[in-house]
Amino acid sequence: QLQLQESGPGLVEPSETLSLTCTVSGDSISTTSYYWGWVRQPPGKGLEWIGSVYYSGSTYYNPSLKSRVTVSMDMSNNHFSLILNSVTAADTALYSCARQGYRSYYMDVWGKGTTVTVSS
Amino acid sequence: DIQLTQSPSLLSASVGDRVTITCRASQGISSYLAWYQQKPGKVPKLLIYGASTLESGVPSRFSGSGSGTEFILTISSLQPEDLATYYCQQVTSYPLTFGPGTKVDIK
């Protein structure tokens, strides 16, 4: 059974770097059939796609975050990661990782999410 | 970027009611649309993909229709456990975008 689990600091100081990892169990992230992506949701607001990565290393990012975000894969540890630089209070959100179809792009399996607060 | 709008933003209905939510895209996206259900305190759950294909395990009271720029999510008989916010997502091209959500309340 496929499971995704986010991990990382719950509190990040303004101007610092947010770093999260999504550990995948029950399947290999090196599959050709899926992308692996990140979505966030600020408190009381809607969903925002952040970025996605494919086993080949190809990445796609939300233009609104592109200058600050990196999504990468670690196949040896079967996880993928999110780095967001120069964070502000506006980056406070529930961050979720998800499996995303290669041809269809919909997100069919999600982690439980992790809350990140940006504050000093 | 493809923009999505949803209507209504808030819907209050009784158990057993038929409920419809509309999602409109700023340009044609064929059938490349997904619907998600997000219950309070939880992450989204995929309900429908390809505009009308029900994800495995999703109750048959949920259905989706539409293509091009207008799509509809229907709950044929609202149940108490359907209390949630529903989001559409276009999956035709990057950047992936979500609609603003429709919150469904039970009267």
> Residue A79: pLDDT above 90?
yes
**What is the reported pLDDT for A16?**
98
Q: How confident is the model at residue B84 (pLDDT cuts 50, 70, 90)?
A: very high
- Other Cβ atoms closer than 10 A to A15: 11
- Chain B residues 35-64 with CB within 8 Å of chain A: 36, 38, 43-46, 49-50, 55
The shortest CB-CB distance from A46 to any of B46, B55, B100 is to B100
CB B68 within 8 A of CB B88: no
pLDDT digits (tens, 9 = 90+) for B15-74: 999 999 999 999 999 999 999 999 999 999 999 999 999 999 999 999 999 999 999 999
What are A9-39's pLDDT values in tens digits?
999 999 999 999 999 999 999 999 999 999 9
CB B27 within 8 A of CB B4: no
The stretch A85-103 carries a mean pLDDT of 96
Sign of the C-alpha dihedral computed for residues B79, B81, B85 and B87 taken in this order = negative
Residue A103 has pLDDT above 90, yes or no: no
Asked whether the beta carbons of A95 and A40 are under 8 A apart, the reply is yes
Best of B10, B43, B49, B55 to disrupt the A interface (most A CBs within 10 Å) is B43
Q: Is A102 a residue whose pLDDT tops 90? A: no
- B6 CB within 8 Å of a chain A CB: no
* Tokens (6 digits) for A76: 């040896």
Q: Token digits for B107?
A: 């009267």
pLDDT of residue A104: 86
DSSP, res A9: -
For an interface test with B, the pick among A2, A105, A108, A114 (most B C-beta atoms closer than 10 Å) comes out as: A105
Whole-number Å distance between alpha carbons of B64 and B80: 20
Is B87 within 8 Å of A39 when comparing Cβ atoms? no
Task: Decide if B53 contacts B73 (C-beta within 8 A).
Answer: no
pLDDT band at B104 (very low <50, low <70, confident <90, very high): very high
